[in-house]
Amino acid sequence: MIAAAESLSRSPSEPVDAPLILALPKGRILKALGPVLERTGLFEDGSAIGEGTRSLRFPTLDPNIDVVRVRSFDVATFVAHGGAQIGVCGADVLMEFDYPDIYAPLDLGIGGCRISIARPVGEGTHDTTAASSHIRVATKYPTITRRHFAARGVNAEIVHLHGAMELAPTLDMASVIVDLVDTGSTLKANGLRETDVIAHVTSRLIVNRVALKTRPEAIRALIERFRNALQENAA
C-alpha cells in the first residue's frame, strides 16, 4: 500500500539533536490514543493533550520529544515533508495520499472504522450495473474512490467535499457517497445505507523515511515505546 523508497536524496532540515516532532491528529483518534500515550511515558494524562491552549506545539514529559496537534488528514503530509519525524494517522489517509517518504511500522489497532459506499435507502445494492459505466460520487477520498470504481470498469466523477457528504445524494449532487463509517447512525439519520466496504481502517504509527536513516536510534526507541505500550494494554 505504501511504496518503498530505497534511495533517498533529501536531507532533513532540522539538526539531529533537535527534539523529535510527533504529529498527532485532533479529534476521535487522539481521544482513543490517550491511554497509549500515557503508557509510553510521554504524558501523565493522554486525554488532556492540548486542552486549555490554542498552541499547536507543546512539550512532552520527554525533553527530546515535542508534539504538534494537527488535522487528522494533515498528519501524513507533515511527516512526509519532514515537518514531523513520526506521527499517528488512519490507514485511510495513507491509502489516499500514498506518500513514498512514509513508512508505517506499527498498527495501533485503534480508531477502527471502514471506508464504505453508501446510497439512498431503496436504491439498488450494487455499485454498478451492466448498463452503467459512469457514476457521480461525493467524497473526500478522490484517489481511493477513483481506484475502486476503475477496477470495476466504472468512471467515477468526483464531487469533492470535506464534510456533510450525506447531503449530496438527497440534493442530487451525487448518486452515492464514499466516506468513513463507524456505527452507521449518521447514514441512517440521513436516509442512506452502507452497501459496500472498500477497506477496513485502523490508526498507524508512521515515520519519515529520511529521518529514520538520519536519526535511527531516537526514532526506533520511540517506535519501541509505542510497541511496548500496546503490549501492556493487551496484557
Instruction: Say if residue 43 is in the same domain as residue 97.
Output: yes
Instruction: Say if residue 34 is in the same domain as residue 83.
Output: yes
Q: How many domains would you assign to the chain?
A: 2
Instruction: Say if residue 78 is in the same domain as residue 54.
Output: yes
> Which pLDDT value is given to residue 74?
96
Instruction: Say if residue 105 is in the same domain as residue 214.
Output: yes
pLDDT in tens, 35-71: 999 999 999 877 667 666 778 998 999 999 999 999 9
Bin 152: left if φ > 0, else alpha if -120 < ψ < 50, else beta: alpha
H or E element in which residue 180 lies: strand 176-181
Residue 117 lies in a domain: yes
- Cα separation, 60 vs 40, in Å, equals 11
CA distances from 186 to 94, 121, 126, 226 (A): 24, 13, 21, 32
This prediction's pTM: 0.85
143 close to 92: Cβ distance less than 8 angstroms: no
157 close to 137: Cβ distance less than 8 angstroms: yes
Q: Residue 146's domain is classified under what CATH number?
A: 3.40.190.10
Domain range holding 93?
Answer: 20-112+202-234
Residue 86 lies in a domain: yes
Instruction: Say if residue 123 is in the same domain as residue 53.
Output: no
Residue 56 lies in a domain: yes
pLDDT in tens, 107-147: 999 999 999 999 999 876 554 444 479 999 999 999 999 99
pLDDT in tens, 150-195: 999 999 999 999 999 999 999 999 999 999 999 999 999 999 999 9
Instruction: Say if residue 56 is in the same domain as residue 83.
Output: yes
Instruction: Say if residue 58 is in the same domain as residue 138.
Output: no
Instruction: Say if residue 122 is in the same domain as residue 158.
Output: yes
H or E element in which residue 31 lies: helix 28-40
pLDDT at 9 over 80: no
Instruction: Say if residue 78 is in the same domain as residue 92.
Output: yes
Instruction: Say if residue 83 is in the same domain as residue 93.
Output: yes
Instruction: Say if residue 187 is in the same domain as residue 214.
Output: no
Instruction: Say if residue 66 is in the same domain as residue 97.
Output: yes
89 close to 76: Cβ distance less than 8 angstroms: yes
